[in-house]
Amino acid sequence: MEIHVVQRGQSLWSLSQQYRVSMQDLINANGRLSQLAVGQALVIPTPRRTYVVKAGDSLNSIAARFGTTASSLAAQNQITSPGQLYAGRALRVPRPTRRTIDVNAYLTDFGVKGEQTVQEMGPVITYLSPFSYHVGTDGSLTPLNDTAVLNSARAQGVAPLLVISNWEGSMFNSELGHTILNDESVQQTLINNVLNTMKSKGHRGLNIDFEYIYPYDREPYNQFLQKVVTQLHAEGYLVSTALAPKTSATQQGLLYVAHDYPEHGRLADFVVLMTYEWGWIGGPPMAVSPIPQIRRVLDYAVTAIPRNKVLMGVSVYGYDWTLPFVPKQSRAQTLTPAGAAQLAVTNNVAIEYNTTSQAPNYQYVDSQGRRHQVWFEDARSFQAKLDLVQSYDLRGISFWSYPTDFPQVPSVLTDNFRVRRL
């Protein structure tokens, strides 16, 4: 596939002519495209991995674009002289060897929309993680009505993971975490309930998402994790954890201290780094997952956790902030990537792309005269994150969260990697 940024005056029809693909293929790869916004990133499906030569192209520039060599490109297309490379010629591009990665997707809807998501994403995910079974102070689990999505996942060869969390009400509860981590009887009850649920529902493993744990519960958390791993491994189950995006071993804050990267890296089969929410619903406008901040997390993570155990978190949403931002008062609205692009079309504004954060954004004025700032994800920002997975040689990625409307994900993902199937 190729990523094209829409220029002024371009339409779905003109792009289909330019790239010699059908309008329906463009729609299939990008979702609803009744109108296009200037600056919108589109995935261009290239049948048999083809590329149409443009004025100024050379074998070297085309090869660099697709991660191959000029000699391989020439051999693939029987090019023996410069005159055979001309604008408008369709070249077959050799596919580079793709590495196999693990892909996890957290799911927050277990109804019809959730089932549809599993059907659509099934071919490009390794694990499905319905979020979440809430842990009680007595070690009980609040059940989920997730049987349909789990059945759908298994039917497609996707491995379901049981996610447990210290979520209570509308947030993570530190005191609940403290109770669980400091009572061995409650812990054993919890582990028994986890095992019984996984056996009855056919999970492949466990994902522990304990957040906002008190700093003094760091060692109790490590000891609990050791106990979980010992018992679940004996039954043949995988164990993974979700970790806050730390940039150093000494990082302070309720979100960070109790997450011991080296111990989780030693004990768990893999970890999910929650590399998102720098731009968040109650914070000032900025990219949700800016590349420089993710790099800082990865730079530390790979010193503490084996690279082949790291799943990098990938956000699949954006936010719309009403300006001016007022601390402790302003609340952004969540947008899907496709919804954000359509909002730009509706308000007739161009989408910009911040090359530092590697994220699309724009501003618009609503019908009440209020100014808005939007940051979201698109094919370019997703590609930038996959480039990090490649350069850091990570185990894979973990999406937070589905369902969403981001139809470009499968094309971009499979153009870069093969997805492991269990």
Q: How many CA atoms are closer than 13 Å to the CA of 156, on its beta-carbon side?
A: 22
Mean pLDDT of 287-297: 98
Whether 5 has a pLDDT exceeding 90, the answer reads yes
Q: How far apart are CA 398 and CA 12, in angstroms?
A: 32
Cα–Cα distance between 287 and 49 in angstroms, integer? 32
Please report the pLDDT score of residue 81 as a whole number. Answer: 87
Q: What is the mean pLDDT of residues 270-277?
A: 98
Domain span including residue 127: 99-313+396-419
Given 58, 77, 92, which residue is the final one in a domain?
92
Q: Which two tokens stand for residue 129?
A: 């993680």
Residue 95 reports pLDDT greater than 80: no
Q: Is the pLDDT of residue 33 over 90?
A: no
- 48: in domain: yes
How many Cα atoms occupy the beta-carbon half-sphere of 310 within 13 Å? 26
The residue from 2, 115, 211, 377 that is catalytic is 211
pLDDT reported for residue 303: 98
106 and 148 share one domain: yes
Q: What is the pLDDT of residues 363-381, one digit of tens each?
A: 999 999 999 999 999 999 9
Distance between CA atoms of 47 and 27, rounded to whole angstroms? 15
- Has residue 55 been placed in a domain? yes
Region for 238 from its dihedrals, namely left if φ exceeds 0, alpha if ψ lies in -120 to 50, beta otherwise: beta
263 is catalytic: no
Angle 18-25-157 (CA atoms, 0-180°, nearest 5)? Answer: 140
**pLDDT (tens digit per residue) in 167-181:** 999 999 999 999 999
Share of the chain above pLDDT 90, in %: 89
Residue with tokens 């979980």: 228
Q: Copy the structure tokens of residue 62.
A: 């085309």
What is the spatial distance between Cα 5 and Cα 339, in angstroms, rounded to a whole number?
17
Token pair listed for 345 = 């079309």
Share of the chain above pLDDT 70, in %: 100
Give the mean pLDDT of 310-336.
Answer: 98
As for how many domains the chain has, the answer is 2
Domain boundary among 92, 120, 135: 92
Q: 35, 69, 92 — which closes off a domain?
A: 92
Interatomic CA distance for residues 146 and 202, integer angstroms: 11
pLDDT tier at 48 (50, 70, 90 boundaries)? low
- Mind giving me the DSSP string for 276-322? --SS-TTS-S--SS-HHHHHHHHHHHHHHS-GGGEEEEEE--EEEEE
Q: Domain check: are 252 and 108 in the same one?
A: yes
The answer to pTM > 0.85 is yes
In whole angstroms, how far apart are CA 280 and each of 165, 293, 317, 318, 338? 20, 14, 11, 9, 19
Residue 4 has pLDDT above 90, yes or no: yes
Do 228 and 118 belong together in one domain? yes
> Does residue 105 lie in a domain region?
yes
